[in-house]
Amino acid sequence: MAPVLSVHHLTKTYRSGTRTLTVLDDVSFDVRPGETCAVVGPSGSGKTTLLGLCAGLDRSSDGTVDLCGHRLNDMSEDALARLRNQEVGFIFQTFQLIPTLTALENVMVPSELRGDRSARERALELLRQVGLEDRTTHYPTQLSGGEQQRVAIARAFINRPTVLFADEPTGNLDADTGATIEDLIFDLNETRGTTLVMVTHNLDLAGRTGRIISLRGGEIVSDESTKIGDMRSAVS
């Protein structure tokens, strides 16, 4: 089966004054459909940079990224935006809800962008699934952190994405709420068969995925299946 995400010799450098900083150095890996994958590593190891490049939010200095059969390097900004809308869902550490939109409206945005007339019904269904059916008209500032992240999860799933990119999804939450959010992400991921690429510091959370890619100094130092991954491989 062709990989959903294929990263080859990916390098990202930044210029800082006269110095050139290499944040990612010749990184390569593939992610298959339905696979769950965690990218771990210490601060500054290049995790978030890698996520941004894989999701088409940033441009690489060298190497290629293929997402859902599209070579991202060759695409315009607008084409990347359309691809993200159709194939990608995002969950962020800081939730990234639009403050002027209600919970329901926040969830509807990706679907409305596609011109989908059933956006409202689907958004309501998703909000029901994440347990926020009575908070639909609330604005982000009227919601707790956990509630905000649940709205973000509903938004991420509304367009039935092929890949879900998550950046420290429980990083801003207390332990109990974090655990609830983890369950929600994995449940939805499993029922919808979405590929999950998650950046996290949390090794327990990483352990719930099928594969862990460890980064250090911009390079992959290990790329291993977890027990869950092994179990999934055995089942498949």
Partner 1 sequence: MWDSWIFKMAWRDSRGSRRQLSLFLSSMIVGVAALVAITSFGQNLERAIDDEAKALLGADLIIEADEPFGAETEALMDSLGGEQSRRVSFASMAYFSTTEDTRLANVRGIEGGYPFYGSVETTPPEASNTYLADGHALVDASLMQQYGIEVGDSVSVGRNTYAIAGRLDKKPRENELMAVFSPSVYIPLAGVDSTLLGMGSRAEYDVAFRFDDGRDVEALVDEIGPRLRENDVGFDTVEEVREDWDEILTNLYRFLSVVAFIAVLLGGIGVASAIHVYIRRRLSTIAVLRCVGAVAGRTFAIYAVQAAVMGLIGGLIGAVLGIGIQVFVPFVLSDFLPFDVPFTLVWGAVAGGLALGVGATVLFALLPLVSIRRISPLLTLRATVTQEASDVRDPLWWGVLAVIAVGMTAFAVSNAPAPEVGLGYAGGLAAVFAALLGVARLIMWATRRFFPTGWAYTWRQGLANLFRPNNQTSTLMLSLGLGTFLIATLFGVQRTLLGQIEIAGGSERPNIVLFDIQPDEIDAVMEIVDENGLPVVARVPIVTMRLSAVNGRSIEAMREDSTVDLSWAHRREYRSTYRDYLNESERVIEGEFIGETDPEEDVVPISLEEEIAGRLDVGIGDTLTWDVQGYEVIGRVASIRHVDWQRIGTNFFVVFPNGVLEEAPQFLVLLSRAEDTAASARLQRDVVRAFPSVSAIDLSLVLSTFDAIFSRVSFVVRFMASFSILTGLIVLIGAVVVSRVQRTRESVLLKTLGASRRQVVRIMIVEYLFLGFFAALTGLVLSFASGWGFAALVFETTYRPDLSAVVAMLVVVPVLTVAIGLISGRGIYKRPPLDVLRADV
**Which residue ranges make up the site for partner 1 (CB under 8 A)?**
48, 51-52, 57-58, 77-78, 81-82, 84-86, 90, 92, 96-101, 105, 109-110, 112-115, 140-141, 155, 159, 167
Rounded alpha-carbon distances, angstroms, from residue 220 to 2, 32, 58, 132: 22, 18, 19, 39
SS3 123: helix
Which residue's CB is nearer to partner 1, number 170 or number 226?
170
Output the smallest distance, CB 192 to partner 1, in A: 17
95: closest CA among 140, 160, 41, 38? 140
Which residue's CB is nearer to partner 1, number 29 or number 157?
157
Which residue's CB is nearer to partner 1, number 58 or number 229?
58
CA–CA separation, 18 and 11 (whole Å) = 19
Output the smallest distance, CB 45 to partner 1, in A: 15
Helices (H) and strands (E) in the chain, counts: 8, 10
Output the smallest distance, CB 23 to partner 1, in A: 11
Q: Do residues 41 and 216 lie in contact, with contact meaning Cβ atoms separated by under 8 Å?
A: yes
Output the smallest distance, CB 228 to partner 1, in A: 26
